[in-house]
Amino acid sequence: MTERYTSAVWLLKPDGSRKKVGTVPNTVAADPDPAMADGGLLGVAVSPTWNGTTDKDVFFVHTVADGTRVVKMRFDGTSLSGYTVVISGIKRGGDHNGGTIAFGPDGYLYVTTGDGHDNKAAQDKNSLNGKILRITKSGAAAPGNPFGNRVYSLGLRNPEGLAWDSRGRLWAADIGRTAWDELNLIEKGRNYGWPTCEGTCSTPGMTNPKMVWKPAEGGVPAQVAIVNDVLYVSTLLGKRLWRLPIDASGTGIGPATSYYQGTYGRLRAVAKVPGADQLWLGSSGNTGTNKDVILKVTIG
């Protein structure tokens, strides 16, 4: 578990206790310059073959003084050490930092990047911003990428959630500007529209979302987890967890229901518990008496 503003990394134990295992160096969050505000220590992904001895790799996304980075550290089961830059040069700007990182079923690392408030970058195949990247553990373009570089799909504004269903399809949430937030079915090389389109449009070459929300009506989606081919999407402004079943076609979304509206404040982290029909769910950015919490939820 990562903490944005302290850059602390915690190990959550099955009994609910937690242990701080280190911090990710060089993290710069909430810079006084408004153009560089927000950010901090964002996503975390453990190598799928991690064993603490021959494979100690744990990957993070964080904002530093001059941009956003993907980095690698070593975790031996007790503490974090080392710091290797995997990707640097992702432009940082305000609150559009993306920052989710996850290993796909193909063993490659997928990274969401925000447009960094440079919305034209989202349409530039040679920019790292406004994208889903697909890379090797050393940060190189993964084999088979559509444009011969690290870009996997483009035209995104501030995607923070990634998850794969049982057929290996990738779903991602994208936070829109003021009109529409989106859930997208991500395919290699596709253009998800930003900034030409926000929500659904009819521009040739742009792929429409599978679901949209108005920000003030349960929107601003953060992360995505999938349990038994049902998507669970946490929301920040919406302060609720959406349940979105994948429909019989496998490419659309059935009736949406939501849970916990306002109960825990803004919800950001959501992850499937391995080997169980359960979710971890975390609140984020709550202040005062409503301290942030991590919940463990059993899917009925």
**Which residues are near Ca ion by CB under 5 A?**
182, 192-193
CA-to-CA distance for 94 and 100, rounded, in angstroms?
16
Of 46, 84, 90, residue with least CA distance to 64? 90
Which CB sits closer to Ca ion, 39 or 209?
209
Which CB sits closer to Ca ion, 100 or 284?
100
* Positions of E strands within 47-194: 57-64, 67-75, 80-90, 101-103, 109-113, 131-135, 151-154, 159-164, 170-174, 181-186
CB of 131 to Ca ion, least distance (A): 13
CB of 290 to Ca ion, least distance (A): 32
CA-to-CA distance for 150 and 140, rounded, in angstroms?
7
Which CB sits closer to Ca ion, 6 or 208?
208
Strand partners, 64: 67
CB of 184 to Ca ion, least distance (A): 6
CB of 193 to Ca ion, least distance (A): 4
Which CB sits closer to Ca ion, 3 or 174?
174
CA-to-CA distance for 179 and 109, rounded, in angstroms?
31
Which CB sits closer to Ca ion, 11 or 256?
256
CB of 61 to Ca ion, least distance (A): 21
Peptide bond into 32 cis (omega under 30): no
